[in-house]
Amino acid sequence: MSQSLQGATKAAYDKTSANQKVGADPSLSVWVGASAGSGKTQVLSDRVLRLLLAGSSPTRLLCLTFTKAAAAEMEKRIAGRLSSWTAASLGDLELSLEKLLGRFPHPEETTRARSLFAQMLDAPGGLKIQTIHSFCQSILSRFPLEAGITPNFEALDERSAQELLARAREEVLEAVYRAAPASEPWAFDLHQALHYLAGGLGEEDFAKLLSGVTSHKDRLRLMVEGFGGLEHAVVEIYRRLDLTPDLTQEALVAEAGAEGNFNRAGLTRLAEAYGSGTPSEQTRGAALADWLAGGHLDPQSFAGYCALFLTKDGEPRKSLLTKALHEAHPELLEVAQTEAARLIAVRQRAAALGEAVQTAALLRLGWHMTEAYQRAKRAAVALDYDDMILLVRDLLDRPGVSSWVHYKLDGGIDHVLVDEAQDTSPPQWQVIEGLIEEFFTGMGASEDRSSGELPPRSLFVVGDPKQSIFGFQGAAPRLFSEKNRTYEQRAREAERPFASLTLDMSFRSTQPILDAVDAVFDRDGMEQGVSFDETWRPHKAYRAGQAGSVELWPPVEPEEETPLDPWAPPLVPQERRLPRTRLAELIAAKIHYWTRDPAGKSDPACRLAARDRRLRPGDFMVLVQRRNAFVSELVRALKSRDVPVAGVDRMRLMEQLPIMDLVAFGNFLLLPEDDLTLATVLKGPLVNFDEQQLAELCWARKGSLWRALAARKDDDPAFAVAFEFLSEQLGKVDHLDPYELYQGLLSANQGRRQILARLGPEANDPLDEFLALALEYSRQHAPSLQGLLHWLNADGREIKRDLEQSQGVVRIMTVHAAKGLQAPVVFLPDTFGSDKHDRSLLWLEGATKGGNEPPLCLLPGASKQRSALSAALLAEKETESLEERRRLLYVAMTRAEDRLIVCGYKGKQNNRREPWYDLVKAGLEAMDPPAVQQEFDFSEFLGENGWRGPGLVISSDQQGAPKTDAGTTVRSRPVALPDWALRKPQKESSPSRPLAPSRPSEIEPAVISPLGTDETSRFKRGLLVHRLLQTLPDLPEEQRRVRGLAFLQQPLHGLSTEDAEALLAETLAVIAAPAFAAVFGPGSRAEVPVTGCIEKSDGTHDVISARIDRLVVTDSEVLIIDYKSNRPAAKTEADVPGVYLHQMASYRALLLKIYPSKDVRCALLWTEGPRLMQLTQARLLEHAP
């Protein structure tokens, strides 16, 4: 592969290959820093293969990944290579092993390679490639008593955990609401805390804060336990703010106004001076004199007093003294400035006190909610994801237990491999440290495996701090380098081989994309928070010499809003195109032109030059920072141009149109008299009224809409069909659980087909998820339609679509969801915006960041009412957020393989620090040589909605032969077909297959449709008759009626007593009929299995394995009867389909071998009737096998 590379690229490739070989070396512990697209997954899988080749047991390897998808992909890749070795020729196997090992394999290695796949399959649980949560769950399942938990616990998924937490929150709030001072003092204290918080927060902010504090359960517990109790933690918060818990706002303000704490003499002179000044100064002087005379401050008067010296923002007034007053009394300026500074200090202290009080109130509520949540989990015998991590961490750190756990893990774990280590949180690192504690100390370090029989115990870690974008899940990218240094030092002390490597060559992106990435981040401190090395390491492109480009389009500016004349009649619609709409339309138009417009067939811009083909919809990925209105606009624009699009990667279930239709349908069944709900159902896809029909039904009606539909059902066929359909569903709602109700609606009543016809195939995912949730609800709760709808509305479930493979459609997703993915063309349209600063808990340095002190939290005040401590913590948090946004930009840019297009739209507010557009623009302009300036004009695609402006472009031309998607060079001449492709294939013998008597494997007449009212009853009737004819003849005659009626009256059959009696009477009449006496008389048997081999006329054989519905064997003859329960009955033998005749002829041929001396006859019993039809031997011989 590297023979075509030249110069610096060849040298970089050789170095990368050498590093990859070192990374896969099983004799070393290795720490790998791998840039985007540098083949880290390949190194990881190669290492696993080499460990297995070196003799390691699959059970003693543990590979930890970040997501289940990554674990499945790695397991698939490794299993695929192992399985290919099993069947490979010796030459191919040696070539594969030589490429893996970097040398020619030994004979024993080739022998072992062929057995590895079987070893992997035989290993208990296979290869241990798991997420850390899955691993912790498996550990706790094996060691519940050692961990101090109940065996057979339930692992809560995110939805179940949120449901339990919400229930615990409601429990505490209910107790607080009903609190009485004497009976529940703790709840009464919480009542005061709740009253304080609710008074200063909106409902949404209050809910977010409660959710935020309970989401930090681990930190909260560490804080409470670390300080010896909740109240001690509260005291520590006051101490950090230089306050005491007994201090109140009234006392603080009163102290500020106490005699001796201010310059009375100076302020008196200032008040007198104000009295001789301007009118505004005179007003201020009078107010100051009044306060000096009263000498008292309270929280209400304090604000007015501060206004004399400070602005609304809390800053000193610029004109404390006018020029004339200052010239007359220059010494008073210092007096005013000193008082202003004193008031600022008092205000800051008051803000700190407000923060302390609010934090204490929030912590008291949050702690009790957390305790209630813990109780709920114990009652449910359940653990959430955080619990499992913390329990395993403690289990592996407990003296005397850790070694036992290691021993029982199939004799211990010898090799730990960690993928995506940059996203590992501190508690997860502690779990990993518990697993590898003995690798570099004690027996583990001194263990001698140098004999070559087994590789030494090893640690392999791979990650890229530049791609750490999951800070909200606790990821700490700086730990990656810190842990590297720690384990390298421990390995050195234990005299164990350890290698730290970097992989900087990208096998994914073309040179212009990597040049743009380097230009953006290798300047002006931009690498801070992205690269944690001393200097930025430039990327190297394996695809040097291949065509690629980076384009920076001019942004869409907001249009100037022309004020509307309020008195002008609205005769002409005034359309206002939002910037996001215009950009969405442009991207959709561009993709359509590049992929589907015949006019672009000869345009080079419509081709992937590096792959020598035209662009396809599946080549495009659109990445956004958040799911917002732009995403919906883009999906709509793409669909309007018939460009295949997968929609967004996540969606809220209850916000999807098909689910809204199903919920409206359910609400109608609960309350048919609700006119709006019924109108929604009638207009929806399940009934499909048009506007005219709905208006005709609603106009001049008397009473409810449902009564109007019932009264006018004979006026219009559409009204009759709708009324019959809805009435049928109303009859089911009290008898079926919600899942059965909706499953029948979507399947038997064609509901899914009707919804898809209107909303398109993307409605399938929400419908499937809805049914899955309905089934889950029916299993976990007492099933009721009203309960299901309430549960769904409270759930807030999101659907995560699998967009890892393009599937030939445009993919739109967040950058977080695109982690690990790639595409030939990537759009970055979400490059502007505004910063949001939601109030949330701030955590001080402590155990959560590697320190020894317990963590401590603080709730900051409003923007102008913050303490110095909270301001510093907020500045630190904003810096961390800014750095993570930079890393997010790095991830977004490096998803592109061939072309990267950066664009954007501006809104009314664009106050975001370091918007992506500006960062990319500054980087491209700073390149040497700089990017080429180009004038863009988009009116060609959007007409008057287009815009124009300058942009930047960097590109490279295709210099070598293009590569196909499979990675092979495009061939210049056709390949001759092999000889076997031109020969007629030999006829294959029929495989052994079961031939069910009522379901032959060949094509048979269509069944009677189970859809619709009449057809459904016929279908059900046939099945019930079949079952009765199978079982009743074998019962004593006096028991047949009782047993048959008991069977038919089971609720699942849905038969009334009259229908059951009638059906049973018909069936018993058939059994008792003289014409059928031989069929159901003595010597007859039901469901008789038979297997045999029949030679066909062409010399081949059919193996028949069947079950005959009814078989009668007498001294002279054999009668074969087959039931046809859900097929239309043939009127004569001539009407019997040939497939049935062939089936019965096969049975006859088989039974003739068993009973060669008897006459074998065949008959069909049509349950629709019922009627017995004898088949003549002549007709059977015509269809003999």
Annotated binding site for ATP: 34-41
Q: Which amino acid is at 273?
A: A
Q: Give the three-state DSSP class for 974.
A: coil
Q: Give the three-state DSSP class for 333.
A: helix
**1115's tokens:** 């001294």
Q: How far is CA 1149 from the centre of its chain?
A: 58
Classify residue 328 as left (phi > 0), alpha (psi -120 to 50) or beta.
alpha
DSSP 999: B
Query: Kind of pairing, strands 645-648 and 620-624?
Result: unpaired
- Helix (H) or strand (E) run with residue 1089 in it: strand 1084-1095
Start-to-end CA span in the chain (Å): 58
DSSP 570: -
Q: Give the number of other CB atoms < 10 A from CB of residue 696.
A: 17
Binding residues: 34-41
Cβ–Cβ < 8 Å for 1127, 1139:
no
* Distance set, CA 206 to CA 226, 243, 358, 377, 972 (Å): 27, 25, 11, 24, 68
Cβ–Cβ < 8 Å for 1118, 1153:
no
Q: Which residues of 637-672 are buried (b: 16+ CB within 10 A; e: fewer)?
A: bbeebebbbbbbbebebbebbbbebbbbbbbbbeeb
Cβ–Cβ < 8 Å for 1025, 1170:
yes
Sheet of 948-956, strands arranged across: 645-648, 810-814, 620-624, 823-828, 896-902, 548-552, 948-956, 932-937
Query: In this structure, what are the phi and psi dihedrals at residue 1179, rounded to the nearest 5 degrees?
Result: -65, -35
Q: Give the number of other CB atoms < 10 A from CB of residue 868.
A: 13
Helix axis angle for 385-397 and 132-142, nearest 10°, is 60
Can you count the helices (H) and strands (E) in the chain?
44, 30
**688's tokens:** 């499909």
Per-residue DSSP letters for 125-188?
A: TSSEEEEHHHHHHHHHHH-HHHHTS-SS-EE--HHHHHHHHHHHHHHHHHHHHT--TTT-HHHH
**C-alpha–C-alpha distance, residues 840 and 472, integer Å:** 13
**C-alpha–C-alpha distance, residues 947 and 937, integer Å:** 6
Residue whose C-alpha is closest to residue 651's, from 632, 623, 671: 632
Give the chain's radius of gyration (CA, Å): 39
Cβ–Cβ < 8 Å for 1099, 1111:
no
Query: Kind of pairing, strands 613-614 and 607-608?
Result: antiparallel
**C-alpha–C-alpha distance, residues 460 and 15, integer Å:** 20
Q: Give the number of other CB atoms < 10 A from CB of residue 289.
A: 17
**C-alpha–C-alpha distance, residues 713 and 721, integer Å:** 8
**1173's tokens:** 């039809």
The residues, any chain, with a CB within 8 Å of residue 260's CB and separated by 6 or more, are none
Cβ–Cβ < 8 Å for 298, 306:
no
**1121's tokens:** 């009867």
Query: In this structure, what are the phi and psi dihedrals at residue 804, rounded to the nearest 5 degrees?
Result: -65, -35
Burial (CB < 10 A; 0-12, 13-18, 19+), residue 309, is: buried
**C-alpha–C-alpha distance, residues 537 and 518, integer Å:** 8
